[in-house]
């Protein structure tokens, strides 16, 4: 298929551990979407959470993707090298009155009531920066989950986009990166459905376009818990059986035995026969 300059997707793992079956499914789903449409597929390392980064996980994930035949386009972007971009976005929001410094401690903010919205009360120092939410409903059409609506002022309240001692929040970094990398389509796990309205609000506040969203079903273990590095899901290694199982999880047609066990051949077959309508919701 001809290269399609209008489609640009991405896989954005956090290097907090090796690729497990759940993250493989996300990588595979976003890859198949991009490649079946002749688009580009980028990889971005979301390594801002330094406490959770694991030494070696970054190169481990990349080697594993390569092993499965999931080859990315262009250089791998690392969030830790892009801090200036996130701080520039934060400055824009502050300058336009769309974010504000907040002096409340974590304990005080469980149900944040906007204490610092109109300015830091005397005697308080900034501990974080919050995005100012409003009463407008944010709605978007997810390609799998359909119409999703959220009133941020009621459901998340003014949320933290940066801590005063440095760390940029995931919500802000992902929005800046998706925009600056020209991502047209975000395909990722359904655990992030909930974050999407916050990201759309940030996109609007920063004058960025909103990509299309396609949230993939979550892989759960026998106890019904989402596979994750936190629940110690085991690492996958590039093997045809694992790839076939991941394709089956995404509802894709079985790869005939004559395609063989070469992972690149299996991926090629999967791209050619990919049909997003065969993917079904998990929640």
Q: Residue 20 carries which DSSP code?
A: B
Q: What Cα–Cα distance (Å) separates residue 121 from each residue in 111, 116, 117, 226?
A: 18, 7, 10, 41
Tell me: does residue 13 bind ligand GLU (CB under 6 A): yes
Tell me: does residue 174 bind ligand GLU (CB under 6 A): yes
Q: Is 147 exposed, middle or buried (0-12, 13-18, 19+ CB in 10 A)?
A: exposed
In the stretch 117-156, what mask flags binding to ligand GLU with x, by CB under 6 A? ----------------------------------------
CA 251 to chain centroid: 22
Q: What Cα–Cα distance (Å) separates residue 230 from each residue in 1, 15, 118, 182?
A: 39, 12, 38, 31
Q: Which stretch binds ligand GLU (CB under 6 A): 10-18, 98-106, 113-121, 273-281?
A: 10-18
- Judged by CB under 6 A, how many residues of this single chain contact ligand GLU? 7
Degrees (nearest 5) of the Cα angle 10, 25, 170?
Answer: 45
Tell me: does residue 192 bind ligand GLU (CB under 6 A): yes
Binds ligand GLU by CB under 6 A, chosen from 31, 34, 46, 90 = 46
Q: How far is the CB of 233 from ligand GLU (least distance, A)?
A: 12
Tell me: does residue 184 bind ligand GLU (CB under 6 A): no
Residues designated as active site: 229
Task: Name the H helices within the chain.
Answer: 21-36, 57-67, 83-95, 152-155, 170-180, 196-206, 240-249, 263-273
Binds ligand GLU by CB under 6 A, chosen from 7, 8, 9, 12 = 12
Q: How far is the CB of 105 from ligand GLU (least distance, A)?
A: 27
Q: Residue 197 carries which DSSP code?
A: H
Tell me: does residue 14 bind ligand GLU (CB under 6 A): yes
Residues in the site for ligand GLU, rule: CB under 6 A? 12-14, 46, 174, 188, 192
């Amino acid at each position: 298929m001809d290269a399609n300059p209008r489609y640009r997707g991405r896989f954005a793992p956090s290097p907090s551990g090796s690729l497990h079956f759940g993250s493989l499914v996300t990588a595979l789903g976003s890859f198949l979407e991009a490649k079946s449409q002749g688009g580009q597929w980028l990889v971005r390392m979301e390594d801002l959470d330094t406490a959770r980064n694991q030494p070696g996980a970054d190169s481990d994930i990349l080697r594993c993707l390569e092993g499965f035949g999931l080859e990315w386009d262009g250089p791998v972007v690392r969030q830790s090298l892009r801090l200036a971009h996130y701080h520039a976005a934060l400055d824009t929001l502050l300058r336009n009155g769309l974010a504000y410094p907040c002096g409340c401690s974590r304990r005080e903010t469980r149900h944040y009531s906007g204490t610092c919205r109109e300015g830091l009360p005397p005697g308080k120092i900034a501990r974080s920066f919050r995005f100012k939410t409003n009463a407008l409903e944010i709605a978007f059409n997810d390609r799998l989950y359909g119409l999703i609506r959220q009133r941020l002022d009621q459901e998340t309240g003014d949320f933290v986009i940066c801590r005063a001692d440095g760390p940029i929040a995931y919500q802000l970094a992902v929005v800046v990166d998706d925009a600056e990398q020209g991502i047209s389509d975000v395909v990722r796990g359904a655990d992030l459905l909930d974050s999407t309205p916050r990201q759309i609000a940030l996109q609007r506040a920063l004058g960025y376009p909103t990509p299309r969203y396609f949230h993939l079903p979550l892989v759960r273990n026998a106890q019904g818990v989402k596979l994750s590095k936190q629940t110690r899901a085991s690492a996958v290694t590039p093997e045809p059986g694992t790839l076939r199982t991941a394709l089956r999880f995404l509802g894709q047609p079985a790869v005939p035995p004559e395609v063989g066990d070469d992972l690149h051949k299996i991926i090629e077959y999967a791209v050619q026969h990919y049909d997003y309508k065969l993917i079904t919701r998990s929640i």
